Structure 1
Amino acid sequence: MFPWLEIGGWLGSALVVLSLTQARVLRFRWLNLIGSLVATTYNAILGIWPFVAMNAAISLINIYWLWRLNRERHDAAVYEVVEVAPDDAYLLHVLRTHAADIATFAPRFVALPEPGEERSAFLVQRGDETVGVVEVRDGGDGSAVVELDWVSKRFRDLTPGEFVYRRSGIFAAKGFARVVVPDAAHGDAAYLRGVGFRPEGPAWVRDVAEHTAG
């Protein structure tokens, strides 16, 4: 057997195993697809047809799910935004359950508002699964200041938090003229631009009036 062929076989197997360790559904599908395609090619060269058929079928399944996930990622019919009270019992349960993960993205976030602080909270639902939480506080100048924009690990590559910002009527009804992310991480720039924010100094701003139909 050619050394490169054996290396390819091991690489395909390694990618399939690596895919099973991924929490993110999109990353899992891509790694599994690449691994199964490599395995299909490897077994075809060796003429092991039962494994060719199995890995080819796995590849097709991954292609279907990748197509479906990417088709649905911006589909408002798939994701529902549900407003809840900032002290809602279910919201607090979600925040407690994912506290360690949330702290890596928003280390200064506190689940319960300070006395007198006006805060609005939104759950992003995919069916009966909570895939994201967005919380904003009243900045006092017509600004909704984003305190938390968190997405569960499974759906982090799909950015479902965008559906909160698209429904600008949520913010307009509360009297907000703009939504402000005060200190976005460097890696968030593409996401924020994609949902209508623009940089203003260290902050990112989205004008509500310009997106009332979004």
Structure 2
Amino acid sequence: MFPWLEIGGWLGSALIVLSLTQARVLRFRWLNLTGSLVATAYNAILGIWPFVAMNAAISLINTYWLWRLNRERHDAAVYEVVEVAPDDAYLLHVLRTHAADIATFAPRFAPVPEPGEERSAFLVQRGDETVGVVEVRDAGDGGGVVELDWVTKRFRDFTPGEFVHRRSGIFAAKGFDRVVVPQAGGSDRAYLRGVGFRPEGSAWVRDVVAGAEG
């Protein structure tokens, strides 16, 4: 056997095993697809047809799910925004369950609002699965300050928070004329631009227009 062929076989196996360690659904699918394609080619060269058929089928399944996930990533019919009270029991359960992960993105976020603090909370649902949480504090001057815009690890390659920000009516109903993100890291800026925010100094601001969507 040629050394490069054996290396290719090991590489395909390694990618498939690595894919199974991924929490992110999109990353899992891409790694698994790449590994199964390599394995298909490797087994075809060796003439091991049962494994060719199996890996080819896995490749087709991964291709389908990648197409479907990317097609649905901006589809408001797939993701639903559910407003809940800031002290809602289920919301607090989600925040407690993912507290360590949330702290890495919003270390100053407090799940329970301070006395007198007005806060709006939104769950982003994909079917019966909660894939994101957005919480916005009323700053008292027509501005809403985003305290949390968090996505679960499975859907971190997507931007489900956009379904909250794209529905301007949600914030207009709260009396906001703008929504502010006090600071944003480099990886968040493309997302914020994509949902209509603009930079103002170190902050990012999105104007709220009553009755407007998008």
CA contact (8 A) 1:123 1:132 kept: yes
- Name the aligned partner's letter for residue 92 of structure 1: L
Partner of 1:101: 101
Structure 1 unmatched runs, 5+: none
Deviations 1:81-122 (A, max 9, x none): 000000011100000000000000000000011111110000
How far, CA to CA, are the matches of 1:33 and 1:213 in structure 2? 36
How far, CA to CA, are the matches of 2:102 and 2:137 in structure 1? 17
CA contact (8 A) 2:178 2:206 kept: yes
DSSP-derived class of the 1:183 partner? coil
How far, CA to CA, are the matches of 1:5 and 1:200 in structure 2? 55
Partner of 1:149: 149
Label 1:9 to 1:193 Cα distance change in 2 as closer, same or farther (>3 A). Answer: same
| Structure 1 residue 211: Cα displacement | 7.8
Deviations 1:126-181 (A, max 9, x none): 11111100000011221110000011000111111110001110000111011110
| Structure 1 residue 213: Cα displacement | 2.2
How far, CA to CA, are the matches of 1:10 and 1:207 in structure 2? 53
DSSP-derived class of the 1:158 partner? coil
RMSD of equivalent CA atoms = 1.0
Partner of 2:40: 40
How far, CA to CA, are the matches of 1:169 and 1:36 in structure 2? 45
CA contact (8 A) 2:172 2:210 kept: no
Partner of 1:4: 4
How far, CA to CA, are the matches of 2:3 and 2:89 in structure 1? 59
DSSP-derived class of the 2:122 partner? strand
The structure 1 segments of at least 4 consecutive aligned residues displaced by more than 4 Å after TM superposition are none
Label 1:211 to 1:188 Cα distance change in 2 as closer, same or farther (>3 A). Answer: farther
Is 1:129 the counterpart of 2:129? The answer is yes
- Name the aligned partner's letter for residue 167 of structure 2: R
Give the TM-score of the pair, scaled to structure 1. 0.98
CA contact (8 A) 1:166 1:211 kept: no
- 1:185-200 equivalences under 5 Å are 185-200=185-200
| Structure 1 residue 209: Cα displacement | 1.3
- Name the aligned partner's letter for residue 115 of structure 2: P
Partner of 2:114: 114
- Name the aligned partner's letter for residue 43 of structure 1: N
Give the TM-score of the pair, scaled to structure 2. 0.98
Label 1:211 to 1:156 Cα distance change in 2 as closer, same or farther (>3 A). Answer: farther
How far, CA to CA, are the matches of 1:202 and 1:140 in structure 2? 20
DSSP-derived class of the 1:188 partner? helix
Deviations 1:174-193 (A, max 9, x none): 11011110011221111111
How far, CA to CA, are the matches of 1:176 and 1:27 in structure 2? 37
Partner of 1:50: 50
